[in-house]
Amino acid sequence: MRRERYTEYLEYVKEYLTKHGGMVSPNPRHPFRCRFQHTIRVLHWCFRLAEGLEQVEEEVLYTAAIFHDIGYSDGENDRHALRSGQAFHEYALNRQMNAEFREKVEKLIYAHSNKALLKNKNVSLELILLMEADLLDEEGAMGIVWDCMSMGNIHASSYAAAYYHIMENSNKKEPNPMVTEKAKVFWEEKKRVVSEFADILAEDLMIGSPYFDIY
């Protein structure tokens, strides 16, 4: 029953994103980024992070994950969380969802882009998990692929250009933003993968060789 319900939600989100031009990134460097596929991955990250945790309102969390980015369009997306919450509100009313449930889901959707709330000890566990899931997507191995595809789309002139782009993006030094222990482990593993890849790539490219200074 749950799978059928989530499939119905996802079909609606896919149709909505397509209708409003929010399926593919408007950034010409990132035509490979699909908002709907991101949504599915965030949902699965929520499955992973919530497994084994007590006192998680799973239906609220998973529903919010499915609808969290429905408000993306082919225009300005800084306020996509607001549009996503409004879109879910309309959908929930049409489906006559329980008012209390609807309001809980809406609160997660409206707040999910404010990642500073991860440092707030008063936010709900469901919001923390949703934000962690959102951040974990497109990191690690996917981050490396993103960097390489981005450089390919601007016709980078060398392997070294891709290496330095990786160092500035997917391999940049940053603190672990996660809150739950499971998410912290996932984050560290993703960063380890990127760091090891960058080290190997630097060796293969002979980064630092004095001979590259010869013109």
79 confidence band (pLDDT: 50, 70, 90): confident
Residue 57: which residues within 8 A CB-CB, separation 6 or more? Answer: 104, 126
Task: With beta carbons less than 8 A apart as the criterion, state whether 135 and 184 touch.
Answer: no
* pLDDT tens-digit map of 106-153: 999 999 999 999 999 999 999 999 999 999 999 999 999 999 999 999
- The CA-atom distances, in angstroms, between 44 and each of 62, 121, 123, 136, 141 are 9, 25, 22, 11, 17
DSSP state of 31: T
Longest dimension (CA), the chain: 71
- Find out whether 9 and 66 touch, Cβ atoms under 8 Å: yes
* pLDDT above 80 (res 213): no
Q: Which of 48, 46, 182, 176 is nearest to 115 (CA)?
A: 176
pTM: 0.94
